[in-house]
């Protein structure tokens, strides 16, 4: 028998759900009450998948990028979203983090150019927009 996964959020209103019954299939014991789900269980399926990949990658963001096929800024954004969903205050980006994202975005633009996915004109346009429109 395939086990169904517990829903953490109400499919109608999006609020957190609670478990009201637990059952052991081995000894046929049942426990009834109101049980709160763990914080991870209350995350969306997409967020849970991200956490699983992040942990399996031992927090290596490059590996998370590779496995999920997403960019560095997207990894950081999803991680920040999950941190907030788990009840931790958002952390303000420091100048070095902002510079790191900008550097990573530039690297990705240049790699796309190198692979022939974009032409030089597109690369220049994207690089200028990454730099806030400045011409360096």
For the cut 60, the answer to whether the pLDDT of residue 116 exceeds it is: yes
Cα–Cα distance, 25 to 84 (Å, whole number): 36
**pLDDT value, residue 100:** 60
Q: Quick check: is 55 in a domain?
A: no
**Among all chains, which residue has been given the structure tokens 């969903």?**
85
Comparing 131 with 36, which gets the higher pLDDT?
A: 36
For the cut 50, the answer to whether the pLDDT of residue 135 exceeds it is: no
Helix%, strand%, coil% for the chain, nearest 5? 50, 10, 40
Q: Quick check: is 72 in a domain?
A: no
**pLDDT value, residue 133:** 45
**pLDDT value, residue 134:** 43
For the cut 60, the answer to whether the pLDDT of residue 132 exceeds it is: no
In the predicted model, what is the mean pLDDT of the chain? 83
Q: Contact at 8 Å (CB) between 47 and 82?
A: yes
For the cut 70, the answer to whether the pLDDT of residue 98 exceeds it is: no
Q: Quick check: is 85 in a domain?
A: no
Contacts of 61 (CB under 8 A, 6+ apart): 72, 75, 76
Chain-centroid distance, C-alpha 30: 35
Short-list 45, 102, 50, CA closest to 80? 50
- Residue 47 has, within 13 A of its CA and on its CB side, a CA count of 18
Q: Quick check: is 123 in a domain?
A: yes
**pLDDT value, residue 94:** 57
Comparing 74 with 103, which gets the higher pLDDT?
A: 74
Structural domain range at position 97? 93-136
Q: Quick check: is 103 in a domain?
A: yes
Query: What is the number of domains present in the chain?
Result: 1
Q: Is the pTM of this model over 0.95?
A: no
pLDDT in tens, 27-68: 999 999 988 888 888 888 899 999 999 999 999 999 999 999
Q: Quick check: is 119 in a domain?
A: yes
Token pair, residue 28, equals 């046929």
Q: Quick check: is 66 in a domain?
A: no
**pLDDT value, residue 91:** 73
End-to-end CA gap in the chain: 62
């Amino acid at each position: 028998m395939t086990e169904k996964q517990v829903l953490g959020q109400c499919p109608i209103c999006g609020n957190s759900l609670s478990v009201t019954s637990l059952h052991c299939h081995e000894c046929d014991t049942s426990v009834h009450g109101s049980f709160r789900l763990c914080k991870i269980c209350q995350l969306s399926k997409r967020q849970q998948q991200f956490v699983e990949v992040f942990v399996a990658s031992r927090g290596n963001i490059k590996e998370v990028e590779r496995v999920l096929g997403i960019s560095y800024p997207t990894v950081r954004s999803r991680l920040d979203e999950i941190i907030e969903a788990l009840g931790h205050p958002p952390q303000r980006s420091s100048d070095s983090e902002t510079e790191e994202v900008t550097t990573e975005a530039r690297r990705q633009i240049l790699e796309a150019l190198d692979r022939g996915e974009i032409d030089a004109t597109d690369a220049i346009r994207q690089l200028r927009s990454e730099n806030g429109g400045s011409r360096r």
